[in-house]
Chain A
């Protein structure tokens, strides 16, 4: 069953992949993120505006769309990584389990403790494999049975068998795909609630990509996953829900907007918006 998702059919249309996936029942699912009229501005330019969507627990939600449409900007709001950009300003409402993420008195450090992130390029620390995973728990005071925790995280990221004999070696000695799985292990070692993946496979070869995708299916049992990808086939293969972002251009402004958000099957096979249809059928983008 799991293996069906591992081989990467390069020339299969996303529609066909998506059709094989059942629609998730979202009605009874817990809402993790409730996004209302979200906008992000850098200085006087608007990156995204008017985004409304709900992200459900233990589902994989994919953000797709052309480059520059603000999907990365959006995902970086969810754990306040945009705070690191001095000119960034966020408007609207972003509720995480009933709490406003940008509310007064909310500490971004506490937000990121719950909502972990894996980045586009693998970015392991220049430390040993073991220390890469153990560092987070150590700093956050989760020192009890650290070895067990590290092993569990590495198993969770499907990396344990490959590195168990060389935990003391530098993480930089690993291949790109292994480094990315190490980054996932590092993120799940502190047992967050949500995992944000910002184009996690874009710097990887197809085999490493397949490994990451298979891993996501396993991870969604324990985590709510939000993934940004520019690869429609990937979204169709892994995501339960898919959001299509696009760039809206009027006279002087250009900003990213959420065009359509639906379960992956419907978004790919029966999109309600013409722009979505053009994009998923490859007529645009």
Chain B
């Protein structure tokens, strides 16, 4: 049986959450409100586990050191919304990835921020989320997109696709085995609005949600194969 056959859509997950809150008929919380809490939980889960990665190719401009990646992603229209960057490549696979650095490190070494002729380092210290700074700025314009030549490839943690309809499934990049976490997280958020008894139950649901989230991280990043135990570190 394929894993996809275990998938549950938004309404099914919301109903399960309502069942966990002790409100299976939706007398206290409507299915719509449960669905909103469900979307919040899926977002939280994806950021905590860094589950969804996307890549965007950004054209570099000579001497321009600041790039607004979030806006570029939104303008693209085909990519998932931007979370935060995890890797910056340069010139496709022809050059090594750019290295992350810190403004303080640049200052301590006594460099001006325009030093260097190749863009080989980047930092986030002097900009708000959504932007990156290159050190030093590009020596020449990159080729017109979609060419990767002399351009920057940003891999980022993305926000999951929003479930707007009742029959929508969680983002396709979320493994089906992780769906189990969502009703618990949803129930916890709904129960936060209740009385003392609800709150006790909310603590329990929150614990279950965290447990499933941690297990997803372990599944995704650590327990990959039986050979894990012999890998250094």
Q: Are A and B a genuine interacting pair, yes or no?
A: no
